[in-house]
Structure 1
Amino acid sequence: MNDFDFLIGSWNVTNRRLSTLFAGSDQWENFAGTSTCWPVLDGGGNTEEIVFESLGSRGLTLRLFDVERKEWSIYWASSRTGLLYPPVVGTFADGRGDFYGDDTHDGKPIKAHFIWSDITASSARWEQEFSIDDGRTWESNWVMTYSRT
């Protein structure tokens, strides 16, 4: 239940996001963000808000720990759409968190994978990748590098 305790507090976030998905693109956009994460439900979850000043948008993450199944559900919402996206679900093992879920892109079903790694007291790395072939291959499309403010 303490897996995400490292994230509580304030962060500077360096973002690298693929410009076009599922097109074999190697064009990435880079932009900054600031993030604040706080615990909820007496430590049974947390909420994180990230601000992308240069994009004029914000994101909200809700993470909840399922006590019975011993796994996390991670939900994402964007100020650009006002939607809460389907969760990715998973666990941490050996200092790495892997979370998988079903989503859609341009109306077509995809698989989503979030990876938390390189976690220290002052830094962390998050990566998102999508699959259009039911998880046989994955395309990395967003990497966030966190550094403690």
Structure 2
Amino acid sequence: MKKHIISLIVALILAMSLQIVYAETSVSELEPEAYFDFWLGTWDLTWEDADGTTARGTNHIERVLDGKVIKENFEAHSGAYQGFVGRSYSVYQAQTGTWKQTWVDNQGGYLDFVGEVDGNKRIFRRTGMNPQGKEVVQRMKFYDITEDSLTWDWEISEDNGHTWQLRWRIFYERSE
């Protein structure tokens, strides 16, 4: 019995250390073209709606166009966003050394972003206008990235990025 407990503890420690190694792989060890490869795959999504209930969706991320473009296929299946569908196309532009993303959705949304890296966080950022006509900075932030999960935040700043307000947090779990 004692051997089994020790074996179980060793296995758990090994599994946790592998997750930490994956999560802490430095972006500097990656080619810029691979900065967003962690996102590839099919994901089950959850988030908390304003009323406190858990909403669900899916996101399928794949490389297309000879592997040069990352295509996102987002769908909200429940909650306040039920029926919301969006697509994005992300591409690394080697000549400028930047990532770009274009988002479109079934509500007529069109957003364009520039990608950046902040530590081990991956970010797509844009400048836009709020409903009152004031310039704001918006960003999507990917963080707490492991092989099978990550957290995504949609944030807005009204002071040019000095402070951020969380608008939507989505938890990603890799689909089985």
TM above 0.5, yes or no, is yes
The Cα of 1:28 is off from its aligned counterpart by 6.1
What do you get for the CA RMSD once the two structures are aligned? Answer: 2.0
**More strand per residue: 1 or 2?**
1
The Cα of 1:74 is off from its aligned counterpart by 2.1
The Cα of 1:129 is off from its aligned counterpart by 0.7
Give the TM-score normalised by structure 2.
Answer: 0.70
Matched, 1:141 2:167: yes
Give aligned pairs, total.
139
**More helix per residue: 1 or 2?**
2
List structure 1 segments (4+ residues) > 3 angstroms apart after TM superposition.
Answer: 27-30
- Equivalent of 1:43 in 58, 67, 71: 67
The Cα of 1:47 is off from its aligned counterpart by 0.8
Percent same amino acid among aligned pairs? 26
- Equivalent of 1:3 in 35, 45, 48: 35
Tell me which of the two structures has the higher relative contact order, counting C-alpha pairs closer than 8 angstroms and 6 or more residues apart: 1
> Aligned ranges for residues 1-149 of structure 1 at < 5 Å?
1-16=33-48, 19=50, 30-54=54-78, 55-79=82-106, 81-85=107-111, 87-108=112-133, 109-149=135-175
Flag the 1:93–1:138 CA change in 2: closer, same or farther, 3 A: closer
Which of the two has higher C-alpha Rg?
Answer: 2
Cα deviation 1:52-82 (Å, max 9, x = unaligned): 1221221212211111222211222221x22
Q: Which structure 2 residue ranges, 5 or more long, are not aligned? A: 1-32
Give the letter aligned to residue 72 of structure 1: W
Q: Aligned partners of 2:124, 2:109: CA distance in 1, in Å?
A: 20
